[in-house]
Amino acid sequence: MVSVKVLNASKKFDGKKVLDDVTFEVKDGSFTSILGPVGAGKTTLLRIIAGVEFPDNGSIYFGDKDVTMIPAKERNVAMVYQTFALYPHMRVFDNIASPLAIRGVPKTEIEKRVKEVAELLKIGHLLSRYPRELSGGEAQRVAIARALIKKADVYLFDEPLTNLDYKIRESMRGELRRIFRELGGTIIYAASDPLDTFTMAQYVVILHRGKVLQTGTVEEVYFNPKNVDVSRILARPPMNLIDAELKVRGDKYILDMKGVEIDVSHLKDLLKEKEYIVGIRPEHLFFPTGEERKVISFPSTVIVTEIEGSESIIHLDWEGCKLMMYYPYIKRLAPGERLIVSAKLKNLYIFSKKNGELIARYSREVA
């Protein structure tokens, strides 16, 4: 195991900047997710850490060793790509064994390690099959086994669940969490789906348009997103963002969202602008009973309801503003149905309209 430091790394392709002054550190033995939308630069960053690509500027350290210009074969890194890339003419056993065979490891040692990693991934019954005889989930397990057999210092995963269907992805997250817990090691996992990050990672690096927006534990970044972009990237569904105008009435400071007013007088020392964005997470919207206190409500119209497994994502229209609500059970609502959803004041986020930076949570100031 080893820590990984990326310092001021930049990379261009055909004049286009893919990574822009990227800096972060991955702790020895930790599981860190690099989370960002498609095109954020995640794959390029992993390839630079692996030594397959080299940065135009900046440095890569494994522990205290500068490995920036050391090629991949000398870094003891294992990488699993988005595509499984198994050798079609080889049985599963030989696919898993291939990194060791290339190194000239004795056959008895290869056999021992293949059996060990196959047991870890519960694929011992597949060793005699060819890739064409595997399901998507089985093929991904084989690709992961081939990476793990190297006993690398650093394991890199480039969105390995992306090409699997919903149910397989769901079960594989649980499997990978178990495997990584038993394996140990320093793991860097690129993801565009925040569920991968929530389910498996300890730490997260938010990457957007080639820049690092925020780093920290998953919980720290989730509860205190630095800006609007982070609030939408580390969220599923993305945070609802509503424009608001600051109004001063005597000694009262009010944020007005299309007629829904919030008293923010306790935050007046932080509120120096005229326009803001109020953020409400979809899981913080609920159907009110009338007994709740310190809430705001949105009389809305149902657009559509998405059922994902045993959960529902309800799309709503409120005064021309699109809202999303997460409901932890199956809830079937008809398009056009009228209803009221509410949110507790303590769960609101207030962002600057000018630059998108987080100014405060309603219940707590942000330093």
Q: How confident is the model over 118-146, as pLDDT tens digits?
A: 988 889 999 999 999 998 888 888 988 89
CA neighbor of 3 nearest in space, from 25, 23, 24, 28: 28
Q: Residue 88 maps to which CATH number? A: 3.40.50.300
Domain for residue 298, yes or no?
A: yes
Domain for residue 251, yes or no?
A: yes
Give the pTM: 0.89
Residues 221 and 282 in one domain: no
In the sheet with 57-62, reading across from the earlier edge strand, the strands are 16-26, 4-13, 57-62, 65-66
Residues 217 and 263 in one domain: no
Residues 186 and 328 in one domain: no
Domain for residue 232, yes or no?
A: no
Residues 286 and 335 in one domain: yes
- pLDDT value of position 180: 78
- Provide the number of structural domains found in the chain: 2
Domain for residue 235, yes or no?
A: no
Which range marks the domain in which residue 267 is found?
240-365
Domain for residue 264, yes or no?
A: yes
Domain for residue 233, yes or no?
A: no
Residues 182 and 266 in one domain: no
> How far from chain centre, in Å, is Cα 135?
25
Q: How far is Cα 246 from Cα 256, in angstroms, rounded to an integer?
A: 6
Domain for residue 276, yes or no?
A: yes
Residues 126 and 274 in one domain: no
Could you tell me which residues come within 8 angstroms of residue 248 by beta carbon, excluding any fewer than 6 positions away? 254
Residues 207 and 246 in one domain: no
- pLDDT value of position 73: 87
Residues 64 and 170 in one domain: yes
Residues 214 and 246 in one domain: no
Could you tell me which residues come within 8 angstroms of residue 295 by beta carbon, excluding any fewer than 6 positions away? 288, 342, 343, 344, 345
Q: Measured between alpha carbons, how far is residue 174 from residues 14, 31, 179, 183, 233 in Å?
A: 40, 15, 9, 14, 22
Q: Which of 227, 253, 278 is the last residue of a domain?
A: 227
Q: Which residues pair with 9 in a beta bridge?
A: 22
Q: Helix (H, G, I), strand (E, B), or coil: what is residue 318?
A: strand
Residues 221 and 251 in one domain: no
- pLDDT value of position 1: 74
pLDDT tens-digit profile, the chain (367 residues): 799 999 999 999 999 999 999 999 999 999 999 999 999 999 999 999 999 999 999 999 999 999 999 999 899 898 888 777 889 999 999 999 999 998 899 999 999 999 988 988 889 999 999 999 998 888 888 988 898 898 888 999 999 887 777 777 777 787 778 877 777 789 999 999 999 999 999 999 999 999 999 999 999 999 999 999 999 999 989 999 999 999 999 999 999 999 999 999 999 999 999 999 999 999 999 999 988 889 999 999 999 999 988 899 999 999 999 999 999 999 999 999 999 999 999 999 999 999 999 999 998 655 4
CA geometry: angle 71, 49, 235, nearest 5 deg = 160
Residues 214 and 283 in one domain: no
Alpha-helical segments (H) within the chain? 42-50, 92-103, 107-120, 136-148, 166-183, 194-200, 218-223, 228-233
CA neighbor of 53 nearest in space, from 40, 66, 72: 72
Q: Which of 167, 196, 227 is the last residue of a domain?
A: 227
- pLDDT value of position 367: 42
Residues 172 and 315 in one domain: no
Q: Which of 159, 194, 227 is the last residue of a domain?
A: 227
Q: Measured between alpha carbons, how far is residue 302 from residues 240, 277, 299, 317, 318 in Å?
A: 15, 23, 10, 6, 9
Rg of the chain (C-alpha set): 24
Domain for residue 234, yes or no?
A: no
Q: Residue 266 maps to which CATH number? A: 2.40.50.140
- pLDDT value of position 364: 64
Q: Helix (H, G, I), strand (E, B), or coil: what is residue 354?
A: coil
- pLDDT value of position 132: 93
